Amino acid sequence: MSAVTKLKQRLKEPPPGPFRPEFWRSPLRGPWLTSLLGSLLLPLILIMALTGLISHDAYHPELAGNSPVNQAHDIGVLIQFPASWPSWIFALTQGTHVTVGLITIPLLLAKLWSVIPKLFQWPAVRSAANAIERLSLLLLVGGALFEFATGVLNIQNYYPWHFNFVVAHYYGAWVFCSAFLIHVTVKMPVVVRAYRERGVLKPLRDNLSNTRPEPASGTGADALIAVAPAPPTLSRRGLLGLVGGASLTLLVANIGESIGGPLRRLALLAPRGRVFGSGPNDFQVNRTAVAAGITPQLIGSGWRLQVRAGGRAMALTRAQLTAMAQHTHDLTIGCVEGWSTTQTWTGVRLADLAALVGAGEGATATVVSVQPGGLYGSATFASEQVRDPRSLLALRVNGVDLSPDHGYPARAIGPGVPGVHCTKWIGKVSFE
Amino acid sequence: MSFRKRYGANPVHLIVHVIGLAVAAYAVVELLGEKRWVNFAAWFLAAAVLHDLVLLPVYTVLDHVFRARLPSRSAAHRVPIVNHVRAPALISGLLLLIYFPLILGPARPGYFSATGHHPSGYLRNWLLITIALFAGSAAVYAVRVWRR
């Protein structure tokens, strides 16, 4: 036998360890279990993709300065809710995005556990189809874990990386979702077959003593079934119960920061589960005045609001602003991190400010903070948002002046506006 | 030679992959335009490698070690205890994995500058939840043993 033939023979044999089929011993693994976990993941991933896209578009990325994503190459706005919708709409979609993301983690980990033998298949590449599929699986698994990891760390204000979170989470989602759609399309026949052969839910009837490895079906998906199964220590419904229990724990420990009220006390692990006092300014702060570099001089008696449209400009004192018609609305601040808070805001309508300087009907408004630097020191409101009577330059909250941490002397707020666009310590409003 | 034989799957498989990977390539090209794309790529690959080659083997080995140390079932206790330890331990471990920046503290500076407060109480809350999970699981176990 020539050396080359010998080598070929050797390479056909899997190396010891996880590359040998008998290494994987769980009797639960099999195409049916993976199909069920995948079927449960499918709607959750779709909800996250949809709410993620809604969130991206809620920032009005098409308006100047609103998006860190290069607009020349972006796909354009797909889903934008009318400004007339309830003020909590962004808090709802983004709270859903974050909460669904968190409760999906146990399911994702179970799904990855169920298919781990496939990572060590031998030979590592069987055909051109297998090679291209494995490449897409790298994007699928890497993309899923990247999206979940960056999202989870972002809601905790923890940024151990150097890239821009928004850009990376957005394009990471494109990589993940395209690999996800490939996967769903390619694996659908396997799922249909598994359900047809074993029933959609029938294997969940087995208690521990009835739990056996799935029968082989003579297809490639059999690779998931243990060839040397260990005795079961958990039934399939037990595994599902474990995943459900983990998801439920995550839900209870978090949902209060999105819904608020008494539930916030239950949100024991939510980054914004903190319960404040009962004062009018006692609610969640994102970036304190100190952190934003706001000094007493910047917001003291010398503060003026510059309002501009075209060639017309005027500077208003706070007394002049409070002398204008005041309007009060209950508006929700919804943060991209998933938490939200609804308060009663009083101030001048953005539309009234626009009229003051003779801005046209379709004008957008760019609000600029006096804060010396940092992210989100300005935001541009779409013309539809400017016209909405609930869009305010807020001066007071819950009947008293804004506290410095909530944006004194003036902050922008409007229905469905993402939290970071509710710019605080505003020094300038430009209508264009 | 048929297409299936040469390629290894039907043509739909190839078409779906070409379309999907083209979309992924668009996103990758956009990311390459970012200044910090090397860092992004490292995180992307590290996420997959850390899960598949570290996290999953670690929890599998821990599970094996734990089960090897369990006393063999005595006649008096026909109810296996294994999952009554596994479930609370796994859920508690998952909570730590997800919230370690707040529980163990590395999120402190970022959290403080965002909220004006130090993230306090997360370690205590995680321990409380862990105790509650184990206590709940033990209670269920006790009921199961008692009903035998």
**One domain for residues A349 and A406:** yes
d(CA B27, nearest CA chain A) in Å: 5
Q: Closest CB to A156: pick one of B27, B111, B126.
A: B111
Which chain A residues contact residue B44 at CB under 8 A? 142-143, 146, 172, 175
Bridge partners of residue A365, in order along the sequence = A381, A431
Task: Using the 3D structure, point to which of A213, A239, A261 is the last residue of a domain.
Answer: A261
The residue among B148 and A290 whose pLDDT is bigger is: A290
* Residue range A221-234: mean pLDDT, rounded: 94
Residue A17: predicted pLDDT: 92
pLDDT over 90 at A8, yes or no: no
Q: Both tokens of residue A142?
A: 């890497």
Assign A220 a pLDDT band (cuts: 50, 70, 90). confident
pLDDT over 90 at B55, yes or no: yes
Q: CB A127 to CB B90 under 8 A? A: no
Chain B contact for A276, CB < 8 A? no
Which chain A residues contact residue B6 at CB under 8 A? 128
Pick the range with the lowest mean pLDDT from A72-81, A224-233, A237-246, B122-131: A72-81
Residue A274: predicted pLDDT: 81
ipTM: 0.95
* Residue range A144-163: mean pLDDT, rounded: 96
Q: Closest CB to B52: pick one of A116, A136, A246.
A: A116
**One domain for residues A208 and A313:** no
In a domain, A379, yes or no: yes
Residue B74: predicted pLDDT: 56
d(CA B112, nearest CA chain A) in Å: 9
Residue with structure tokens 């539809």? Answer: A384
Check if the beta carbon of residue A29 is closer than 8 Å to that of residue A225: yes
Assign A73 a pLDDT band (cuts: 50, 70, 90). confident
pLDDT over 90 at B36, yes or no: no
CB interface of A with B, residues 194-213, below 8 Å: 208
pLDDT over 80 at A40, yes or no: yes
Q: Both tokens of residue B88?
A: 């609370």
**One domain for residues A257 and A385:** no
Count Cβ atoms below 10 Å from residue B13 Cβ, excluding itself. 19
Residue B77: predicted pLDDT: 62
List the single best residue of B39, B70, B83, B118 to mutate versus A (max A Cβ within 10 A). Answer: B83
Question: What CATH number is associated with residue A371?
Answer: 3.90.420.10
* Residue range A111-116: mean pLDDT, rounded: 98
In a domain, A165, yes or no: yes
> What is the identity of the amino acid at A208?
L
Per the structure, the complete domain to which residue A392 belongs is given by 296-431
pLDDT over 60 at B92, yes or no: yes
**One domain for residues A308 and A187:** no
Residue A260: predicted pLDDT: 85
The residue among B109 and A135 whose pLDDT is bigger is: A135
In a domain, A39, yes or no: yes
CB interface of A with B, residues 140-169, below 8 Å: 141-143, 145-146, 149-150, 152-153, 156-164, 167-168
**One domain for residues A40 and A168:** yes
Residue A1: predicted pLDDT: 59
Give residue-wise pLDDT tens across range A328-361. 999 999 999 999 999 999 999 999 999 999 998 8
**One domain for residues A300 and A350:** yes
Q: CB A156 to CB B107 under 8 A? A: yes
Q: pTM higher than 0.80 for the full model?
A: yes
pLDDT over 90 at A23, yes or no: yes
Give me the percent of chain B exceeding a pLDDT of 70. Answer: 96
Check if the beta carbon of residue A346 is closer than 8 Å to that of residue A394: yes
Mean residue pLDDT across chain B: 91
* Residue range A205-229: mean pLDDT, rounded: 92
Assign B73 a pLDDT band (cuts: 50, 70, 90). low
**One domain for residues A18 and A165:** yes
**One domain for residues A242 and A307:** no
Task: Using the 3D structure, point to which of A234, A261, A288 is the last residue of a domain.
Answer: A261
φ and ψ at A427, to 5 degrees? -115, -15
* Residue range A289-311: mean pLDDT, rounded: 93
* Residue range B96-112: mean pLDDT, rounded: 93
pLDDT over 60 at B76, yes or no: no
Q: CB B17 to CB A272 under 8 A? A: no
Assign A278 a pLDDT band (cuts: 50, 70, 90). confident
Q: Closest CB to A70: pick one of B23, B33, B43.
A: B33
**One domain for residues A228 and A312:** no
Residue A78: predicted pLDDT: 87
In a domain, A2, yes or no: no
d(CA A173, nearest CA chain B) in Å: 9
CB interface of A with B, residues 301-330, below 8 Å: none
φ and ψ at A348, to 5 degrees? -95, 140
**One domain for residues A206 and A315:** no
Domain spans, chain B: 70-148
pLDDT over 80 at A235, yes or no: yes
Q: How many domains does chain A have?
A: 2
